Chain A
């Protein structure tokens, strides 16, 4: 495992918003097959880091590489196509579509379905659609939303919407999954269940980069953790190392934040 090249290399990236350096010279590597936690107090730059990796914002400086290939400056849909899927802090789904419709949309987006064959309903297109139907069922089962398949997505409970957001990302069949606070709004039982799901995602061969405020969950689920504070990386290590790290303790105490 150690010998594998990193799946994602983030090299000295910075992002300036006006006078704010949201991310300041951060480097990190995500290793193939691991669950890497990215933590830090509010405003530390975690979401911004996700936005830089997934192509939402342009970098002020630095470089991001996926399997050694430079992806800096690519459009989000191209980066998604290369194998990085993400969820959004506060969840983002298509609220007016059904739960099934959400997942179907993502699967169709990634499918190789030619316009004419699909429009005319040719045999091959029907076969592709049938297999998509099967995949929808599989993904909904995986994230535990099977019984809500026909519900309007916007009518789901918040925790379920978060799971649907993860399902949307999984529908891209990503190699790297970026999860931004997936456990927010979940009760302890739901969190434990979702954490188990994150591990199952990893078992299917997907590498995970996880931003989360629920420390118990992060410590329990992550192999390694990177800590950001005020845009800078202040620590990196195993959960045990991070727990004992003096700078980390100070950063969290300093913000008066229970996170």
Chain B
């Protein structure tokens, strides 16, 4: 049943760009990239048990590193990408070691400061980042293995593959020993320590995994938008990721993806201008936490329960879903 759903979804996603026009394909690609970013926030929420207002900085660091290596040093995308990912994971590890000892609001505030510092560095390091004007004309990734990515459709497939691989890799990760240790630490740090789990190391690993996935999103973001500017990586970018993860349903892999779909398409339908976006996000977050704290997936479960009762079937347990936390 689940396999069937996944197969149908895969078929739809593969067929979509052939049926849709350029703009719809663009929108769908945007959704995929946001889904990757929301997923990265979901990981930090689930594995570290914290919201991370510095997540946009991880995206920016990876996106910029990759673009700068390509534009200034002529490095191939496929070489620049792993370097950028390594850079962002190293920075996350460093930042994590310094900040993850902090509890609750202090972690959040320090990560907010980290994000602002990163943004200021990007805005002021004119020689390298071109300052507030940003990097322009970022080219699609160079062809590899006979595949080129210079059309909207081919880039869509690249993003689709990255998201699919992420989901698969994280689905495995959650069930792995590392995933189980991360969940234990999130549930009870003290107890975890006494059953032999190195708490700090695991929290840093959790943050690094989140930064890695955020970096993947960043790698796609540059070529997708063709321009990178510090104004794209404000606090609101992190907030958007949080809203998507929470609206979709925290503690699952599917949740952030649903959240991304919802938050890309709803403003599209309502034709909200970007001016109202922060306010809309805030309102949405409040509504969701009040009305459906388990997000869209939670609502889906409730609906399924109601339907099942309506048809007189016994209600199925819905606890089998992966707990990214």
Contacts and interface: CB of A to CB of B under 8 A. Distances in A.
Contacts of B228: none
B180 interface: yes
A115 B177 contact: yes
Contact of A80 (B172, B188, B190, B196): B196
22 contacts: A75-B198, A77-B193, A80-B196, A81-B196, A85-B195, A86-B194, A88-B191, A88-B194, A92-B188, A94-B187, A95-B187, A105-B184, A105-B195, A109-B192, A109-B197, A111-B177, A115-B178, A118-B177, A120-B172, A168-B191, A169-B195, A172-B196
A173 B103 CA distance: 32
A119 B172 contact: yes
A108 B196 contact: no
A92 B199 CA distance: 17
A249 B183 CA distance: 47
Given A93-B191, A115-B176, A118-B176, A77 B184 contact: no
B309 to A, nearest CB: 23
B193 A75 contact: yes
Contacts of A110: 195-196
B245 interface: no
A172 B176 contact: no
Contacts of A171: 195
Contacts of A77: 192-194, 196-199
A97 B190 CA distance: 16
Sorting the interface of chain A by its residue count into under 10, 10 to 19, 20 to 34 or 35 or more gives: 20 to 34
Contacts of A85: 194-195
Contacts of B177: 108, 111, 113, 115, 118
Given A92-B188, A97-B187, A119-B169, 5 more contacts: A75-B193, A85-B195, A94-B191, A118-B177, A119-B173
A121 interface: yes
Contacts of B176: 115, 118-119
Nearest to A174: B196
Interface in B163-189: 169, 172-173, 176-178, 180-181, 183-184, 187-188
A144 interface: no
Nearest to A114: B177
Nearest to B188: A94
Contact of A76 (B180, B184, B188, B193): B193
Interface of A: 54, 56, 75-77, 80-81, 85-86, 88, 92-97, 104-106, 108-111, 113, 115, 118-121, 168-169, 171-172
Nearest to A96: B187
Contacts of A80: 193-196
A75 B195 CA distance: 12
A86 B196 CA distance: 11
A171 B192 CA distance: 13
A75 to B, nearest CB: 7
A172 B197 CA distance: 11
A104 B176 CA distance: 12
A118 B178 contact: yes
**Most chain A CB within a 10 A radius of its CB, from B172, B193, B194:** B194
Nearest to A112: B177
A92 B197 contact: no
Contacts of A97: 183, 187
A46 to B, nearest CB: 17
A210 B305 CA distance: 48
Contact of B181 (A93, A95, A109): A109
A105 B197 CA distance: 10
Contacts of A93: 191
A28 B177 CA distance: 38
A92 B190 contact: yes
A54 B198 contact: no
A248 B213 CA distance: 61
Contacts of A88: 191, 194
Contacts of B188: 92, 94
B172 A172 contact: no
Contacts of B190: 56, 92
Contacts of A111: 177
Contacts of A92: 188, 190-191
A115 B182 CA distance: 13
Contacts of A113: 177
A108 B180 contact: yes
Nearest to A87: B194
Contacts of B194: 54, 56, 76-77, 80, 85-86, 88
Contacts of A115: 176-178
A94 B186 CA distance: 10
Nearest to B199: A77
Interface in B258-300: none
Q: Which of A86, A115, A118, A172 has the most CB of B within 10 A?
A: A118
A198 B194 CA distance: 20
Contacts of B184: 94, 105, 109
Contacts of B197: 77, 109
- List 7 A-B pairs, minimum CB-CB distance, nearest first: A80-B196, A76-B193, A106-B195, A113-B177, A118-B176, A108-B177, A109-B196
